[in-house]
């Protein structure tokens, strides 16, 4: 009968690690499997991406696309998050709801280039939004609840327009 204190792994299932550099008789003594001399035999060397003079893979593969340096980074905010903040009493329903008010309420962490309002969830409170962008569904939901959505110019665009 097998009990919990007699259970063991199959023989050979767990290999014991080889201690490198512990004398000639250990099969991994002296140079410790690193060969002889040269940059790679020293400690703290890892030649990343080097393939022995062959063209490295990151240079062999084709490059695609580009990163737009002028792209704006918006905070994406859904209506259910706004409604939860109103229900919790963090967001004042009578005041205008802009990036500053949302940061103060803890709904978003920091105002990036503006807030983009999306239509997931249901909005019951009558709110006046001042945001950098809003989806059609979000606009419709806010107006259905009796609120309004004002689209303002995003921060980065406003700075370049001067």
Q: Domains in the chain, ordered, with CATH?
A: 75-161 (3.100.10.10)
Q: How far apart are the first and last CA of the chain?
A: 84
Q: Per mean pLDDT, which range of 40-44, 55-59, 65-69, 98-102 is the poorest?
A: 40-44
75-78 and 115-118 as β-strands: parallel, antiparallel, unpaired? parallel
Mean pLDDT on 16-36:
91
Torsion 92-96-98-100 (CA) sign:
negative
pLDDT higher than threshold 80 for residue 77:
yes
Total residues found in the chain within this entry: 162
- Per-residue model confidence as pLDDT tens digits over 99-152: 999 999 999 999 899 999 999 999 998 999 999 999 999 999 999 999 999 999
DSSP assignment letter at 156: H
The arithmetic mean of pLDDT across residues 27-43, rounded, is 90
Average confidence (pLDDT) over 32-45? 88
Q: What is the mean pLDDT of the chain?
A: 89
Residue 155 is predicted with a pLDDT of 65
% of the chain with per-residue pLDDT over 70: 95
pLDDT at 161: 56
**Predicted TM-score (pTM) of this structure:** 0.57
Q: What one-character-per-residue DSSP string does 80-142 give?
A: HHHHHHHHTT-S-SSSEE-HHHHHHHTSSSS--S-EEEE--S---S--EEEESEE-HHHHHHH
């Amino acid at each position: 009968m097998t009990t919990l204190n007699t259970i063991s792994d199959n023989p050979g299932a767990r290999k014991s690690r080889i201690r490198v550099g512990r004398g000639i008789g250990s099969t991994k003594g002296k140079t410790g499997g690193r060969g002889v001399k040269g940059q790679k035999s020293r400690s703290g060397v890892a030649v990343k991406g080097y393939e022995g003079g062959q063209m490295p893979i990151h240079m062999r593969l084709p490059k695609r696309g580009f990163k737009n340096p002028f792209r704006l980074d918006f905070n994406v905010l859904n209506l259910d998050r706004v409604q939860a903040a109103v229900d919790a009493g963090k967001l004042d329903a009578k005041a205008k709801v802009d990036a500053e008010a949302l940061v103060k309420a803890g709904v978003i962490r920091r105002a990036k280039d503006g807030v983009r309002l999306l239509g997931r969830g249901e909005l019951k409170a009558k709110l006046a939004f001042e945001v950098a962008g809003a989806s059609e569904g979000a606009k419709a939901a806010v107006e259905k609840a009796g609120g309004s959505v004002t689209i303002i110019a995003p921060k980065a665009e406003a700075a370049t327009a001067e």
